[in-house]
Amino acid sequence: SFVTRTNTCGELRSAHVGQEVTLYGWIQYQRQGLFLVLRDFQGLTQIIIPQDEAHAHVKKLLSNAPVESVVRVTGIVTPRPPGQENPKMPTGDIEVKAETAEILNSCKKLPFEIKDFIKKSEALRMQYRYLDLRSFQLQYNLRLRSQIVMRMREYLCNLHGFVDVETPTLFKRTPGGAKEFLVPSREAGKFYCLPQSPQQFKQLLMVGGLDRYFQVARCYRDEGSRPDRQPEFTQIDIEMSFVDQAGIQRLIEGLLRYSWPEERGSITTPFPSMTYEDALANYGTDKPDTRFGMKIVDIGDFLRRSDIQFVQDALSYPCGTVKAICIPHGVRYLKNNDLESLKKSAKSQFNQEIMEIICRPDGSLKSLLTKFLGEKQQSELTQALNMQVDDMVLLAAGEHKQVCSALGSLRLETADLLEVAGLVLRDPTAFHFLWVVDFPLFLPKEENPTELESAHHPFTAPHPSDTSLLYSDPTKVRSQHYDLVLNGNEVGGGSIRIHSAEQQRFVLEKVLKEDSEVLSHLLEALEFGAPPHGGIALGLDRLISLIVDAPSIRDVIAFPKSFRGRDLMGNAPDYVTPEELEPYHIQVSWPLAEKEAKKN
């Protein structure tokens, strides 16, 4: 529609035989002046280059055109000769005999081939992103992303009365959370900040009586890029008035079920739920991958009766524990250097020592521990850990959170090693959603454990059962925060908010020791009849990357930043002249800038 072609390159079938068609696209492949394959956004069509004298100019034009040149071809749809059909191509039953052709734009020598199976460095892909976008996989990813977002809009706005509101990009600093990008203003010494999320605005919209807000929101964080992070990213941002945690969860389950792509199968709702404490105790993380077992087992009570000194030392502490994970067929699939690597990883990341136990073919155990355990105790330990022949157990003793975190990390590392060795643990086509709830409201600051910081953000409401503890022992308060986890990745997070100005001021000033003046506008708004409200934000980039099984969120963003947060195509960030900086009352310390330039 609206264009001069008659058809796309992906839609011609046997029913079109005999028709004259005009196609536009890129030359994907050309063979010896006999035929070429034309590609557009929808697919591929084989074009037969005429060999007769009457069409000599067409033959010359198409035979000499470089690969990836843009051409217009007009011709007749004909069936392919018997035996030459290509069942792998949707258009594989037909070809187009070219009558006329025009080179609309010739392509110079390419920095890499436009084929999905050709290995290209990520830096080169970023530098020539407009070429990389021509690949089938990126086309598929971006089109699927567009379809999912459109379905989400339908569900929220058309079916459930949400209002799509754009919130400002230029705002002010928010206490806590990630580092924010600063934007200079023409007022000396005054800066805007790019928001980490529309958090305050969506709460203010609830105060304003909009009741149900939604936005495909651009968000910004000034922090290093990782496979699942970008300095600028997109959230499906949602807020509702007069809602509880269960209501938000039902909404999101319905939203995902409605927008889920058919080719990825169906998802089952409601999603299972797990407390933060259970997630940490059983999986060693607050974002468990529940596609496979190897859960952490507490064997502290069992070993309490033993004479093993390091076990007794660990259990003598208030939060001391002894835990283990059982690796199926670990003896068969893990090499000695794999085991050493796992031990080093636990030591370097968590300062945690690890001991292994091996189940021999005769069912007996091999370990430094066995000399302290009788036959009956060894048998009980085998049952407690559900060990089979050739299984390997990794055991850790120490402080509860440290032990769980170390074993949780080893559980994932071990799963990677087992799968590389050929044992499939995680079904790549499975999607295991999980709600994690009952997080702590506050956590000790890493740099100063006597002070507290918000586990998520300072606007999260305390759990109704723990409200009184907020004023007496805030370290024990659970929050009304909830995370949505998919296959071990956090894809969303939200909470019921504090809607009382008095409680919000207490959290900021007394618990977090923050200057509440920075949030005076929000505190004042809460005094003007703010309704109870809550919301959630889904990380759109991460969600789409998991749906399409992309190795990085950069593969589902049209123009992403590099691993170091740079735009390699446009060479941003870039220097500006002193004259351009003058209106903003800023001077650059050039020696520092030159050092940074050399480093880069």
Nearest to 504 by CA among 489, 525, 486, 477: 525
Other Cβ atoms within 10 Å of 224 Cβ, number: 10
Tell me the three-class secondary structure of 200-260, residue by residue: HHHHHHHHCCCCEEEEEEEEECCCCCECCECCEEEEEEEEEECCCHHHHHHHHHHHHHHHC
> SS3 for 283?
helix
Residues 6+ apart with CB under 8 A from 386: 326
d(CA 517, CA 369): 58
Q: Could you state, in order of their start, the residue ranges of all structural domains in the chain?
A: 14-105, 138-274+432-555, 292-421
Task: Label residue 597 exposed, middle or buried (CB < 10 Å: 0-12, 13-18, 19+).
Answer: exposed
**Is-contact 147 261, C-beta < 8 A?**
yes
d(CA 422, CA 415): 11
**Is-contact 459 497, C-beta < 8 A?**
yes
**Cα 223 from chain centroid (whole Å):** 16
Q: What pLDDT sits at residue 370?
A: 82
d(CA 489, CA 483): 10
Nearest to 206 by CA among 538, 534, 490: 534
Widest distance between CA atoms in the chain: 97
Other Cβ atoms within 10 Å of 250 Cβ, number: 14
H or E element at residue 116 = none
How many helices and strands (H and E) does the chain possess? 20, 22
d(CA 429, CA 559): 27
Nearest to 250 by CA among 137, 321, 155, 119: 155
Class of domain 138-274+432-555: alpha beta
**Is-contact 9 91, C-beta < 8 A?**
yes
Q: What is the CATH number of domain 14-105?
A: 2.40.50.140
Residues 6+ apart with CB under 8 A from 59: 33, 49, 50, 51
Written as tens digits, the pLDDT of the chain (600 aa) is: 789 999 999 999 999 999 999 999 999 999 989 999 999 999 999 999 999 999 999 999 999 999 999 999 999 999 999 999 999 999 999 999 999 999 999 999 999 998 877 778 889 999 999 999 999 999 999 999 999 999 999 999 999 999 999 999 999 987 766 789 999 999 999 999 999 999 999 999 999 999 999 999 999 999 766 656 899 999 999 999 999 999 999 999 999 999 999 999 999 999 999 999 999 999 999 999 999 999 999 998 888 877 788 888 888 888 899 999 999 999 999 999 999 999 999 999 999 999 999 999 988 899 888 888 888 888 888 998 999 999 999 999 999 999 999 999 999 999 999 999 999 999 989 999 999 999 999 999 988 999 999 999 999 999 999 999 999 999 999 999 999 999 999 999 999 999 999 999 999 999 999 999 999 999 999 999 999 999 999 999 999 999 999 989 999 999 999 888 899 999 999 999 999 999 999 988 877 556 666 565
Q: What pLDDT sits at residue 225?
A: 60
**Is-contact 33 56, C-beta < 8 A?**
no
> Beta strand 163-164 with 212-220: parallel, antiparallel or unpaired?
parallel
Q: What pLDDT sits at residue 563?
A: 83
d(CA 327, CA 544): 31
Q: What pLDDT sits at residue 54?
A: 93
Q: What pLDDT sits at residue 596?
A: 62
**Both tokens assigned to 175:** 């206490």
Residue 566's alpha-carbon distances to 122, 182, 563, 581, in angstroms, are 12, 16, 7, 21
> At 166, phi and psi to the nearest 5?
-90, 130
What do you get for the CA distance between the two ends of the chain, in Å?
Answer: 47
The yes or no reply on domain 292-421 and CATH 2.70.70.10 is: no
Q: 284-319 as b/e, with b when 16 or more CB fall inside 10 Å?
A: bbbbbbbebebbbbbbbebbeebebeebeebbeeee
Residues 6+ apart with CB under 8 A from 357: 324, 365, 366, 367, 369, 370, 381, 385, 387, 392, 393, 395
**Is-contact 477 463, C-beta < 8 A?**
yes
Query: How many residues belong to the chain?
Result: 600
> SS3 for 164?
strand
DSSP 121: -
Q: What pLDDT sits at residue 348?
A: 96
**CA angle 554–556–560, rounded 5-degree value:** 40
Q: What pLDDT sits at residue 152?
A: 98
